[in-house]
Structure formats: C-alpha cells, structure tokens
Amino acid sequence: MKAALMYGANDIRIEEIEKPDYGSEGLLLKVEVIGLCGSDIRNLTTDSRKGDYPHIYGHEVVGTVAEVGDNCKKYQVGDRLYVYPAVPCLECEYCRAGNSHSCKNLKAYDRIQGGFAQYMAVPDWGVNGPNIYKIPDDVAFETAVMSEPLSSVYACQDNVNVRIGQTVVIVGAGPIGCLHAELAKIRGADQVIMVEINEQRLEESKAFGADHTINSMKEDAIEAVRQLTNGQGADVVISANPSTKAQTDAVYMVKPNGTLVFFGGVPKGQMTDIDTNYLHYNSIWVYGHYGSNTIQVKQSFDMIISGRIDASRYVSKIMPLAELFDAIQLMKNGKANKVLIKPWM
C-alpha cells in the first residue's frame, strides 16, 4: 500500500509498504477519506516524535472494511465506518465519571499507525471498544469525515454550556473556529464575534454565523470586542488557535463571571503570559478543552450525518495522498479552510 511516512520535521515521503497486521479480532480499513487537522500540521512540521521515525500520522478517518479477522464478528467486509481516533477503557475513574477523553488507559490509532495511508489497521481493542460508527449509505465519506473535528467543538460547547442569548467570541477563523461559530448559533448564541488576522478567513466566517468580524492585525481586538458588548466583554471567549499572544489577548475579552476557553494547543515549550489577578478579580472561569467523551462523539456524528451542519461547506480542497505536503502548506498559510486527503485518488 501507499503511505505518507514522516521521517522528521517537514520530511514526508510517500512510500510503498506492507499492509498492517490487524489480528484475528481486528479489521483492515480501506481509508477512503482523511481530514487534515491543525494538530497534524503541528506534528508533521516539528520533531513531534523526538527522533522516533518513520511514523504515519492521521486521525480524521472514514473508510470501508476491506478485510476482517477470523474472530471479528462485529463488522463485515464492505461496511462503511467512521473510526474515532481514540478508544477509552470505560473502566477507569475518569471513564466512570463521564470523562472518557481523559481515560488513563486511552489507546489511539495514530500512536501505532494513523490514516495517512491507503489502509489502516483497527486492532481488537478498537473493534471491541466504543467510538466506531457505521455510515449510512446515503451519506458521502466527504461528509462523514467532518464528524471528528466537530466532536471536540461539540464537546467544548456542551461542557461550558453555550446557550441562548449569550455573546461568544471565537479567536481563530480556521475550520475549527468556523465550526464553533456555526454551533454557537445552533445553540442559541445571540451574537458571535470572530477575531482573526487573515482577511479571507474572516470574510468566509460570516457564512458560518459570525455576526461581527475583527482583524486583530488592523485594530485593537480587545477594544473592538468591548465596543460590541457595551463595554462588558463576552460571556464566552474561545481561543481556537496556536498563538500565545492570542491567548493572552483573549483574557481581556471576557466579561466578569464569564468563561475563557483555551481550545487550541500552542507549540510545545511556548508559555502564555496571563494576568491571574485579572482573572481573579473578575471571577473569570478558565477552561482548557481537549477531546470528547463517548456520548459527545456519538452526538456530533449524528449532527453531521443528519445534515444539521452542512459539512461540505467547510471543505476547500480534496487532494491525493501524494500532495499531503502541499495540503499542509495551503492550510498553514491560510489559503484553504479544510483540506481532505483521498489516498486512492
């Protein structure tokens, strides 16, 4: 099979390798479509594995069952599957408390071999665990693949209870930021304000529910948010970007007793300057968000396949596996919103 092997930062090679083993209770998934995510870009352009190469990344995976092990009874050849990238044990204290995304025994496919390949193994722990869902025949793979990026957005807003009448600021108008904007509107937010440095992305965010847009390269974003909120600040501010400066600025966009969410991770080793006195004296809740519990994974999948969120609007380009590095550059430079990869294209 063809696979995109990472040999180091920005060193991605398309090579012919053997199909992976999947065991007697596992299955072999033909990867039909895989999404390119911000975390993939960060991992593939830095020494993310500290010299442990080659490696195959990729976690936003949908595909068709190509082979099954002799003892795999749950799925059959031809099944169309959405494979969420993480599998919790459902037995540890975090899983029992409803926080399966923090599972002590969490397993993830791209820690062994991810989906930037023509085939991906789903071992027994994946087949027998939660978080695999059959895709209806009338739903395109290009639609279903957006279930994974939505899952964390959905979980975030569910956990902080974005609701009717609120003002929500989103810092970062990439695909995740736009999903946040659309979902906030669905949940009843009265006003969604998008902050971004890329003018094209700002303009595109209006179609996803942004009522106001602020280019933080051209104006003081903190002051602009305050002007749009009668000097108060927003009920919820979601920092969905990899910038420490953007995180610092986001603190001052929240109203007293409001909620500040750090959604996007920053490069390892970089620290964010935060005035904790400001948080303290304004009673601001600070929430770091990552992942989704098993219920939220299912709910976000249902939202995508029902068409409540039109996944096709997020996709800028569909590219072959051989052009993965080019796809990274497009998204990294803000010239594409969401890029999907088709390994068989």
Q: Each residue of 194-247: pLDDT tens digit?
A: 999 999 999 999 999 999 999 999 999 999 999 999 999 999 999 999 999 999
**3.90.180.10, 1.10.3720.10, 3.65.10.10, 1.10.357.10: which CATH number matches 2-146+309-342?**
3.90.180.10
Count other Cβ atoms within 10 Å, centred on residue 50.
Answer: 6
Here the tokens at position 126 are: 């994946």
Please report the pLDDT score of residue 302 as a whole number.
Answer: 98
Mean pLDDT for 150-179 is 98
Please report the pLDDT score of residue 264 as a whole number.
Answer: 86
Q: H/E element holding 279?
A: helix 276-281
pLDDT band at 175 (very low <50, low <70, confident <90, very high): very high
Please report the pLDDT score of residue 226 as a whole number.
Answer: 98
pLDDT band at 334 (very low <50, low <70, confident <90, very high): confident
For the chain, counts of helices (H) and of strands (E) = 12, 17
| % of the chain residues with pLDDT over 90 | 94
Residue reference for tokens 């999907």? 340
pLDDT band at 274 (very low <50, low <70, confident <90, very high): very high
| % of the chain residues with pLDDT over 70 | 100
pLDDT band at 111 (very low <50, low <70, confident <90, very high): confident
pLDDT exceeds cutoff 90 at 308: yes
Please report the pLDDT score of residue 269 as a whole number.
Answer: 85
pLDDT exceeds cutoff 90 at 19: yes
pLDDT exceeds cutoff 90 at 268: no
Q: What fold is seen in the domain 153-288?
A: Rossmann fold (3.40.50)
Task: Give the integer Cα–Cα distance in Å for 152 and 238.
Answer: 13
56-71, pLDDT tens digit by residue?
Answer: 999 999 999 999 999 9
Mean pLDDT for 264-271 is 86
pLDDT exceeds cutoff 90 at 271: yes
Domains of the chain, residue spans: 2-146+309-342, 153-288
Please report the pLDDT score of residue 205 as a whole number.
Answer: 97
Q: How high does pLDDT run on average in the chain?
A: 97
Please report the pLDDT score of residue 265 as a whole number.
Answer: 86
The conformational region for residue 65 under phi > 0 = left, psi -120 to 50 = alpha, else beta, is: beta
Task: Give the integer Cα–Cα distance in Å for 179 and 156.
Answer: 11
323-to-110, 196, 320 alpha-carbon distances in Å: 20, 27, 6
46-58, pLDDT tens digit by residue?
Answer: 999 999 999 999 9
